Copies of this chain bind each other. A is one copy, B any other.
């Protein structure tokens, strides 16, 4: 099978899961690099060039907020889910469960 075809279908399947995983992780305030690492450790491979624009989009949509923490020697921007982000997470998790049930029936 053509590698590009395989890659594009895998990408389509993964798309959307990074938003869900990020909103789940950001229930606790987390800075960007730590979020990247937690995502990778959790099995959601994503690079910064994808993640940072996504975080800006989610912030613009009111799903998360960010704040600079300047108390430590190295200032870091911390992100966390808003109540709206938490509400969206619940909807997405519900949809995921429903899709999973549907897929298991077809398997």
Contacts and interface: CB of A to CB of B under 8 A. Distances in A.
A20 B13 contact: yes
Given A42-B102, A87-B1, A100-B100, A16 B13 contact: yes
Secondary structure at the A interface, as helix, strand, loop or mixed, is helix
Contacts of A84: 1
A interface, how many residues as a size bin?
35 or more
A100 B82 CA distance: 24
A44 B102 CA distance: 8
Interface in A8-36: 9-17, 19-21, 24-25
B103 A20 contact: yes
For the complex of A and B, the 5 pairs showing the least CB-CB separation, nearest first, are A43-B102, A12-B16, A13-B16, A24-B106, A5-B61
Given A96-B103, A98-B43, A107-B24, A9 B19 contact: yes
A70 interface: no
